[in-house]
Every structure is written in structure tokens, then in C-alpha cells.
């Protein structure tokens, strides 16, 4: 059972163990955790370990250049990833200790998650082996095993609840080559992100690039499987140009950071103030950007609200003519927010369309009970959006 690793970690903590823990899973997958006095230093192994470590480095320590990484990599072999961190830290690098601590915690949690997912399959048997006094050189931070256990348990429970148990975030999505498919997917994903879904980046990397919640992005991509728009591969494309590149990944991260400014966060000044105002409440910048592009092309005004906690206050000041509301968001979900909006006198008659990757009868009934006027399943096509706008804006105007 993969859950046995919780017991194993707790026992090593009690024993103040110093050395390494080897975790093996079928078929021939191995991870290695390093301990110092019962606390964690580092983890390596599993699938795509180089991509994993460099991705976290690019996200958490953006000041590190490809040149710095290449220089340090040339002279190191065994445990080089951890040694690079210690060398950069000791040499007066701009990497702060808190950045390294965050990187290590995130990386450890990801490795831990992968072990839990492998162990969830009955065909995979998890085994453990300890090697005493197998030490890493250098000491930056020590992480409490309990902290990693709790963080990973919560992530895994969310993953299972979303129905993603059988789908690894390490999969590489590939959009089918048909131009029609790409146009359909562009209606729900940022066009630039769509261009990256070519088997080069796995789902974790795509989530990091687009700053999307991993569960949300994975659910969206999985929902496209029945359409044939997207396929998944356990490995990246074999061509050299398709392999993970730290330099290219950093450039892509920078592009998407700058692209955040393209999302319309207020009513454009040049738009006719008499045109209907459409609001999208979604923590995913890519969804909002895609909707905003289409809606403004139809001549409507558009506002994107990323933080659902700010939505009620913003809408009370600027009541819209129609609201698109995401179902799965942090802190407060779409059902709860919909009920809050309906309690506001000047919002009670505004059409609210629930957006979600789910499409069950229970979800539709619940959306209706809290005041939702419609229910659109992702991916949303342009035709569905146009039909929804025409139907509900006309209805609202006649009220």
C-alpha cells in the first residue's frame, strides 16, 4: 500500500534517521529520499526527474539564468541537482534561503504525490529500503516529514475527488493536427498555450506556465479526450527539439507572465457604454482570456474577475447584464458564490451561466437550485457561447 510511506516517514522521523530511503514501484520505477536526523533534505528519481527539478528552479528562482545552470551542471555528476543548489547558495547567488526551502518542499511533495498515485494501482507493489549514512553533501534546509505528508495528502484527496485517479499529471498532452481541433480548443485555452500542447511539456509544466490550478487544467484536458481533440503520451516527443529545455521554459514563463496584462480587467474605454456588459468569474486567466476575446469581438463589453472573493463587491458597483461563473475555484466554489449573488437585490435577475468540466444531472440540478440560469460544459464551443449570449441577453432585456 502506498499509504505505508506515511508510516515509514513517521518511523524514520522518530528514529532520527540519517541516510537514504529507496522507494520502488513496478515497473522498474525508483525514487530516493535523503534524510538528516529524521528530517528530509531532498528527493530524486521517478519519471522525468530532470524536467521536474529544472521546472521548479525556473518557477521559484527566476533569477537563475540558463548560463549559470549550464556552468554548474558541467562539473557535477552524482546528486548534481542538490549540489547545484548548495553551490549557488554558498557562492553568494541571489537565491534566497526561503526560495530554496520553497523549491525543496514543492519538489518533495510532487515526488510524494507520484508515489501515492503509483501505489493506488493494485498492479503496482511499493517496496522500501533504507541505507544508513548515505549522505548528501551540503546542508541548506531540513524539512519536517509531517509537513510533506499533510501537504501531499490534501493534494491527493483533491485529485481523487476530481475523478483523476487514473490520470497522471506527468502525462504529455498532444493536440491532434487538424486545424479544426485547434480552433475548437482555442475557444477555451489561450492560443499560445494551445500551441504548446504538442507533446513537449507535461501537464505539470503547462500548469506552471499558465499559472493554472493543476486539477483544473487536467480536468479540462481530460474532458477533451472523448472528442478526439487531445491525446496523451507517457513520454515527451523523441526529437531533440521537443525535449525539455530550461532556457525555453523560462522564456515561455516570462511570456505568459507578461500576457496576464492582456486580460481585460475593466471596461474598455472605447467600447460603447450602452452595449451589454458580460462578466467572467474564473480563477483561470486562460479561460477568461478566451471568453473575453470572443465576447469583445461580438461588440459586448467584458470584465474578467480572477478572485471570486472580490466578485460580489465589484459586481455591486458595476452590475453586469450576464455572468459566466466557474464552478471549481479556490476558497469559494461557483455554487456558493451564485447563491451570494442572488441575495443581492440588483443582481438577483442577472443571468448566471455556470461553467464547468463536469456534466452530471446532479450538478445541473444544484446549479438551478442556487439560481443558475444555464450550465455550459467545458470545452465550450463558439456556437454555444453565441447561442447563450443571444438567448440570455434577450431574456434579460425583456424583464
CB 142 within 8 A of CB 105: no
How much is the pLDDT for 260?
46
Mean pLDDT over the full length of the chain: 81
pLDDT above 90 coverage of the chain, percent = 25
Distance of CA 40 to the CA centre of its chain: 25
178 vs 250: which has the higher pLDDT: 250
Q: Which residue has the higher pLDDT, 31 or 191?
A: 31
230-233 vs 172-175, strand pairing mode: antiparallel
Q: Which residues of 217-253 are buried (b: 16+ CB within 10 A; e: fewer)?
A: bbbbbbbbeeeebbebeeebeeeeeeebbbeebbebb
**Residues 278 and 385: beta-carbon distance below 8 Å:** no
| Overall fold of domain 263-398 | Rossmann fold (3.40.50)
Domain ranges across the chain: 4-161, 172-260, 263-398
Helices (H) and strands (E) in the chain, counts: 16, 11
- In this structure, of 31-40, 115-124, 176-185, 274-283, the range with the lowest mean pLDDT score is 176-185
pLDDT tops 50 at residue 264: no
User: Is the pTM value of this prediction over 0.75?
Assistant: no
pLDDT at residue 93 greater than cutoff 60: no
Residue 215 pLDDT more than 60? Answer: yes
pLDDT at 135 over 90: no
Classify residue 67 by burial, with Cβ atoms within 10 Å: 0-12, 13-18, 19+. exposed
352 and 338 Cβ atoms separated by less than 8 Å: yes
Tens of pLDDT, residue by residue over 156-186, are 999 998 889 999 999 999 887 655 555 556 5
| Unique residue bearing C-alpha cell 501531499 | 152
pLDDT value of residue 186: 57
Give pLDDT, residue 187.
54
For the segment 4-24, the average pLDDT, to the nearest whole number, is: 90
Which cell numbers hold the place of 177? 493536427
**Percent of the chain at pLDDT above 70?**
81
**pLDDT the model gives residue 67:** 82
> Which of 46-55, 78-87, 129-138, 203-212 is the least confident region?
78-87
Give the C-alpha separation, 71 to 83, whole Å.
Answer: 13
What's residue 179's pLDDT?
A: 56
pLDDT single digits (tens) 338-385: 888 998 888 989 999 988 766 666 677 777 888 889 888 776 778 888
Residue 189 has pLDDT above 70, yes or no: no
Q: Are 147 and 10 in contact (CB under 8 A)?
A: no
Between 216 and 227, where is the model more confident?
216
pLDDT value of position 219:
85
In this structure, the number of other CB atoms found within 10 A of the CB of residue 377 comes to: 16
Q: pLDDT value at position 255?
A: 67
**Rounded-to-integer distance, Cα 129 and Cα 132, Å:** 10
User: Please, are residues 291 and 263 in contact by the beta-carbon 8 Å criterion?
Assistant: no
Residue 213 pLDDT class (50, 70, 90 cuts): confident
Q: Give the pLDDT of residue 266.
A: 40
Amino acid at each position: 500500500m502506498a499509504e505505508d510511506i506515511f508510516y515509514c516517514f513517521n518511523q524514520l522521523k522518530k528514529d532520527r534517521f540519517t541516510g537514504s530511503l529507496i522507494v520502488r514501484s513496478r515497473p522498474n520505477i525508483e525514487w530516493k529520499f535523503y534524510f538528516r536526523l529524521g528530517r528530509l533534505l531532498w528527493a530524486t528519481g521517478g519519471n522525468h526527474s530532470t524536467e521536474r527539478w529544472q521546472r521548479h528552479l525556473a518557477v521559484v528562482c527566476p533569477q537563475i539564468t540558463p548560463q549559470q545552470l549550464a556552468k554548474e551542471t558541467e562539473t557535477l555528476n552524482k546528486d548534481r541537482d542538490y549540489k547545484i543548489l548548495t553551490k549557488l547558495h554558498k557562492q553568494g547567488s541571489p537565491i534566497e534561503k526561503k526560495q530554496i526551502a520553497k523549491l525543496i518542499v514543492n519538489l518533495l511533495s510532487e515526488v510524494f504525490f507520484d508515489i501515492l498515485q503509483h501505489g493506488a494501482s493494485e498492479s503496482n507493489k511499493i517496496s522500501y529500503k533504507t541505507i544508513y549514512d548515505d549522505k548528501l553533501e551540503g546542508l541548506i534546509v531540513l524539512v519536517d516529514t509531517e509537513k510533506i505528508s499533510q501537504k501531499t495528502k490534501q493534494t491527493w484527496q483533491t485529485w481523487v475527488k476530481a475523478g483523476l485517479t487514473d490520470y497522471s499529471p506527468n502525462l504529455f498532452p498532444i493536440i491532434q493536427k487538424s486545424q479544426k481541433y485547434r480552433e475548437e480548443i482555442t475557444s477555451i485555452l489561450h492560443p499560445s498555450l494551445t500551441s504548446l500542447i504538442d507533446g513537449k511539456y507535461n501537464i505539470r509544466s503547462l500548469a506552471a506556465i499558465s499559472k493554472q490550478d493543476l486539477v483544473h487544467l487536467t480536468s479540462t484536458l481530460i474532458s477533451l479526450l472523448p472528442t478526439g481533440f487531445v491525446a496523451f503520451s507517457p513520454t515527451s516527443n523523441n526529437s531533440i527539439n521537443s525535449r525539455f529545455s530550461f532556457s525555453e521554459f523560462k522564456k515561455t514563463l516570462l511570456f505568459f507572465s507578461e500576457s496576464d496584462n492582456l486580460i481585460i480587467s475593466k471596461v474598455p474605454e472605447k467600447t460603447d457604454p450602452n452595449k451589454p456588459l458580460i462578466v467572467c468569474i474564473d480563477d483561470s486567466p486562460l479561460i477568461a482570456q478566451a471568453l473575453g476575446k470572443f465576447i469583445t469581438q461580438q461588440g459586448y463589453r467584458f470584465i474578467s474577475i480572477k478572485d471570486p472573493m472580490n466578485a460580489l463587491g465589484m459586481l455591486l458597483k458595476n452590475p453586469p447584464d450576464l455572468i459566466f461563473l466557474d464552478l471549481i475555484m479556490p476558497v469559494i466554489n461557483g455554487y456558493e458564490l451564485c447563491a451570494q449573488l442572488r441575495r443581492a437585490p440588483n443582481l438577483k435577475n442577472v443571468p448566471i451561466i455556470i461553467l464547468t468540466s463536469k456534466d452530471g444531472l446532479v450538478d445541473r440540478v444544484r446549479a438551478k437550485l442556487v439560481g443558475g440560469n444555464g450550465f455550459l460544459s467545458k470545452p465550450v464551443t463558439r456556437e454555444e457561447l453565441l447561442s447563450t449570449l443571444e438567448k440570455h441577453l434577450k431574456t434579460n432585456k425583456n424583464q
